[in-house]
Amino acid sequence: MVRAEPPAPPPAGVEVSAPCWNCRKPVAPRDTRCASCGRARTHALLVCTEPCLELRHGPGPPLRLGRHPDWAPRTAAAFDGWNKVSRRHASITVEPDGTAWVEEPEEGTRNGTYLNGARIAAGVRTPVRDGDQLRLGLRVSFAVRLYGPGPGTG
């Protein structure tokens, strides 16, 4: 029986790089941006198990969650048939400093958006923190992880 050896620790003085969330190329810990694709290290990771969906999103235009193929192109296919998710349900914005916000459109949604079980108000930017649970309606739930501009994770 062969036992796998644990990975050797890196030699002293060698920087360990974490992969870029966007292109998966290594990013040195001192870098706040990926040298390959130019994206900031800062990003949010949203993981939903049903439907199976993993979204990574950095600073810039909002990430839209919904069933409308033009308004929410990154989630429309995954939420096809999930009628409790509105066509325009909610947007996630990530700021360069690593803070993140969720907002429902002004007109609101039929089944609501919940942050850690509390329904958010339509048309109001609500802060999202690392480890929060974001729910669209009753059944679709995302675990939210936030990665700031500092070194390490991703």
Contact status: 35 vs Zn ion (CB under 5 A): no
Q: In the set 16, 28, 37, 118, which binds Zn ion (CB under 5 A)?
A: 37
Residue 120 in contact with residue 127, Cβ under 8 Å? no
Residue among 34 and 120 whose Cβ is closer to Zn ion: 34
Smallest distance from Zn ion to CB 43, Å: 10
Contact status: 49 vs Zn ion (CB under 5 A): no
DSSP 110: S
d(CA 51, CA 41): 27
Smallest distance from Zn ion to CB 111, Å: 35
Residue among 32 and 126 whose Cβ is closer to Zn ion: 32
Strand ranges in the chain using DSSP code E only, listed in sequence order? 18-19, 26-27, 43-48, 53-57, 63-65, 90-94, 100-103, 113-115, 118-119, 126-128, 133-136, 140-147
Q: Where are the alpha helices (DSSP H) in 6-149?
A: none
Q: In the set 28, 36, 95, 130, which binds Zn ion (CB under 5 A)?
A: 36
Contact status: 20 vs Zn ion (CB under 5 A): yes
The residue among 40, 44, 39, 48 whose CA lies nearest residue 128 is 44
Contact status: 28 vs Zn ion (CB under 5 A): no
Contact status: 34 vs Zn ion (CB under 5 A): yes
Enumerate binding residues for Zn ion (CB under 5 A): 20, 22-23, 34, 36-37
